[in-house]
Structure 1
Amino acid sequence: MLNFVAKRLVGLLFTLVLVGVLVFLFVHLLPGDPARLAAGPDADAATVALVRHDLGLDQPLPRQFAHFVSHALTGDFGTSTRTKRPVSQEIGDRFMPTLLLTLASLAWAVVFGMVIGVISAVWRNRWPDRLGMTLAVSGISFPAFALGMLLMQLFSVKLGWFPVIGDGSWRSYVLPSITLGAAVAAVLARFTRSAFVDVFHEDYVRTARAKGLSEWRVVAKHCLRNALVPVVTMMGLQFGFLLGGSIVVETVFNWPGLGRLLVDAVAMRDYPILQAEVLLFSVEFLFINLVVDVLYAVINPTIRFK
């Protein structure tokens, strides 16, 4: 296991280098002049040139990339061209709201998704299965921005149960977490159902049933652990998608998180913020994939890494 983790960490370093290059090139290929946006629409050419020099955008791309890498290795991602604050401070202020919203979304999505998936598998091809899979397809098909606006209109504007925008209380997490986690719950429900249906056909499950064990004991004791391997994979990937995919939800609910910060950075062509955030999301995905691979052996000891 230690050798496996060490090899994966070495592979992550090479992946991060490639991601860093692609992120840098992608950001600099965006249309628009960040110097002009930072200087303001009324600034003359001389002022724009001074701002461009101050931001280092008048240097060749290889030199800009070398400057970005050398400072990123020390944790210095530069200064935001929009707020003039350090990028690390901007991301640090926005990270916790996004992380808490992601955890809240994942918590209810895992519970409801797995419960619906297990019920659908146990009563497959009957009305609980059809109802559960209908809900799952609806959750996947309904756009997040439309669901967010619908929930806001119904529960915030008309009923007044929850605040329209985040106010720091637990009530402000309800609607954004439901909006963000709906698709995840639907995906987990379908994966859980498929995994349990496959496990139900194994010999040890038939043996447990032949011993006279109740169906729910068979599910909880003999099926759950073996069926969790593909489900945990999907849970890890969905956690990464929630962290990086909260842009639409945070914009709809005016949530002060990384997604909203990324939208503002794109609008203002804030290169330092864009580079740091995309790189951060990439690191999160790589780390989550590593954790999921290690969890395989914890859930199912018969798995061995070579």
Structure 2
Amino acid sequence: MLNFLVKRLFGLLPTLFIVAVLVFLFVHLLPGDPARLAAGPEADDATVALVRADLGLDRPLPQQFVNFFWRIAHGDFGVSTRSKRPVSQEIAERFMPTLWLTLASMVWAVAIGMALGIVSAVWRNRWPDRLGMTLAVSGISFPAFALGMLLMEVFSVQLGWLPIVGDGTWRGYVLPSLTLGAAVAAVMARFTRASFVEVMHEDFVRTARAKGVPEWRVIARHCLRNALIPVVTMMGLQFGFLLGGSIVVEVVFNWPGLGRLLIDAVSMRDYPVIQAEVLLFSLEFIIINLIVDVLYAVINPTIRFK
């Protein structure tokens, strides 16, 4: 296992290098002049030229490319062209709100999604199964921004139970986490159901039932653990998507997280922030995949011997 972890960690470097190259090329293909946006619409050409020189955008593209990688290698992601603050400081302030929102969304999405999936598999082709899969399809089909506005209209405007924007308490997390986790819960329910249905037809499950093992123990002890491998894979990927893909929800609820920061950076052509955030999201996906691979060995001990 240690050798596996070391190899995967060293494998991060070429992956991040390729991502960094693509990000650098992508942001420089975005339309618009960052110097003009930073200087303001009333600035004359001389002021724009000074701003462009200050941002280093007057240098040839290959030189900008080398400087970009040199700074990254030393842990320097530059200064935001919008706020004139270090990019690392900007991201550090926005990271925790996004992380807590993602964790809150993931907790309830996993709990409800797995419960729906297990119930649908146990009572397959009966009314609990049909109801659960109907809810799952609805959760996948309903757009996040529409669900967020609907929840705000009902629970904030009409009933007045919950705040529209975050107020620093647990109540501020309810509506954004429900909106963000709805699609994950739906996917979790479908994956769990499919995995359980497959496991419930295995020989060891029939043997356990033939021995007189109670049905709840067959489901909890024999089926659940063996059905978790594909579910854990999906959980890891969905967590990465939540952490990096909460942009729409953060905009709808005016959440001070990484998604909102990325939207502001793109609108202002803030190259350093865009590059740093995309690299961070890529690193998150790689680390989450590594954690998922380790969890395989925890769930099924036979994997570690392979």
> Same fold per TM (> 0.5)?
yes
Aligned to 1:163: 163
* Residue 17 (structure 2) pairs with residue 17 (structure 1): yes
CA deviation string 1:253-296 (max 9, x = no partner): 00000000000001100001000001100000011001101111
CA distance in 2 between counterparts of 1:113 and 1:65 reads 45
CA distance in 2 between counterparts of 1:147 and 1:274 reads 27
Q: How does 1:121-160 map to 2 (within 5 A)?
A: 121-160=121-160
Q: Which runs of 5+ in 2 are unaligned?
A: none
Q: How does 1:212-291 map to 2 (within 5 A)?
A: 212-291=212-291
Q: How does 1:181-200 map to 2 (within 5 A)?
A: 181-200=181-200
CA distance in 2 between counterparts of 1:74 and 1:104 reads 34
Aligned to 1:211: 211
Partners of 1:139 and 1:183 within 8 A in 2: yes
Going from structure 1 to structure 2, the CA distance change for 1:139 and 1:13 (only over 3 Å counts) comes to same
Residue 194 of structure 1, CA deviation: 0.5
SS in 1 for 2:11: helix
CA distance in 2 between counterparts of 1:216 and 1:74 reads 55
Q: How many residues align?
A: 306
Aligned to 2:55: 55
Residue 74 of structure 1, CA deviation: 2.1
CA distance in 1 between counterparts of 2:215 and 2:60 reads 67
CA distance in 2 between counterparts of 1:300 and 1:73 reads 38
CA distance in 2 between counterparts of 1:169 and 1:73 reads 38
SS in 2 for 1:175: helix
Aligned to 2:303: 303
CA deviation string 1:44-67 (max 9, x = no partner): 111101100000001111211211
CA distance in 2 between counterparts of 1:75 and 1:164 reads 37
Divergent runs of 4+, >4 A = none
Aligned to 2:119: 119
Partners of 1:4 and 1:305 within 8 A in 2: no
CA distance in 1 between counterparts of 2:22 and 2:120 reads 42
Aligned to 1:79: 79
Structure 1 window deviating more from structure 2 (212-221 vs 237-246): it is 212-221
SS in 2 for 1:176: helix
Residue 305 of structure 1, CA deviation: 6.7
Q: Which runs of 5+ in 1 are unaligned?
A: none
CA deviation string 1:209-253 (max 9, x = no partner): 101122211000111111001100000000000001100000000
Aligned to 1:29: 29
CA distance in 2 between counterparts of 1:129 and 1:286 reads 35
Partners of 1:119 and 1:129 within 8 A in 2: yes
SS in 1 for 2:301: coil
TM-score relative to the length of structure 2: 0.99
CA distance in 1 between counterparts of 2:207 and 2:295 reads 27
CA distance in 2 between counterparts of 1:76 and 1:128 reads 54
CA distance in 2 between counterparts of 1:223 and 1:302 reads 16
Aligned to 2:89: 89
The residue type paired with residue 85 of structure 1 is R
CA distance in 2 between counterparts of 1:92 and 1:65 reads 25
CA deviation string 1:105-142 (max 9, x = no partner): 00000000000000000000000000000000000000
CA distance in 1 between counterparts of 2:71 and 2:272 reads 11
CA distance in 2 between counterparts of 1:129 and 1:178 reads 22
